[in-house]
Amino acid sequence: MLNTLDEVLDDVRARLGRAAGDRQSPMHTPVVATADADARVMVLREFAPWTLRFHTDARAPKAAVVREMPRVGVLFYDKAEKVQIRVRGTARIECDGEIAQAAWEAGDNFARRCYLGDGPGTVRDRPSSGLPETVEGIEPTDAQLVPARANFAVLLVELHEIDWFTLAHTGHRRAQFDLDTGESRWATP
């Protein structure tokens, strides 16, 4: 059991760092909610205190929402350890620039393939991945992926608030952190 606010903040850093780099981490795929109250599971790609990085399609409805209303919430949960971390922050979409380009280059061609297809939410008359038939089920070449780059974006979330909660038979614990002011406190779960 963590007994100081500093220990809790260290725990948050460690869990989010592990979540970004370990596909087996239960916190690797948190729920991200945009200001329009739409929520979806996304893959955490990077955590650099106190910023989260996700990948998205620049054409996705969430990208438009973030551009207009950048407030987001992210929910992480580790069922086995009974730890929940809720964060709130300001998001931004980056399609160009160093961060987006480095993220694009770090991906493999299977991952990049997702950005070749129709935009997210495109209505279809039958089940479909939305991918062009020429890349369905295969790893595309670098040349085939050239048009996909224009659709790739990163969603960056600068954290402002953290709410850490753990369930325990000996008593639940909750801690809250305001990263803008540096204030922290214990709260009733």
The answer to the question of residue 114 being in a domain is: no
Question: Position 13: which residue type?
Answer: R
- At 46, the pLDDT band (50, 70, 90 cuts) reads very high
Parallel, antiparallel or unpaired: strands 39-41 and 71-78? unpaired
Count CA atoms within 13 Å of residue 79 on its CB side: 4
Question: Residues 104-155: pLDDT tens digits?
Answer: 999 999 999 999 999 999 999 999 999 999 999 999 999 999 999 999 999 9
The answer to the question of residue 117 being in a domain is: no
The answer to the question of residue 159 being in a domain is: yes
**pLDDT given at position 126:** 93
The answer, yes or no, to whether the previous bond of 50 is cis (omega within 30 of 0) is yes
The answer to the question of residue 93 being in a domain is: yes
**pLDDT given at position 1:** 81
Provide the CATH number for the domain around residue 33. Answer: 2.30.110.10
The answer to the question of residue 143 being in a domain is: no
Closest CA to 161 of 150, 172, 175: 175
Question: Residues 34-43: pLDDT tens digits?
Answer: 999 999 999 9
The answer to the question of residue 129 being in a domain is: no
SS3 of 42, please? Answer: coil
Our count of domains for the chain comes to 1
The Cα 116–Cα 133 span in angstroms is 11
The answer to the question of residue 21 being in a domain is: yes
Length of the chain equals 189
* Domain span at 164: 5-108+152-186
187 with 176: CB under 8 angstroms?
yes
The answer to the question of residue 123 being in a domain is: no
120 with 63: CB under 8 angstroms?
no
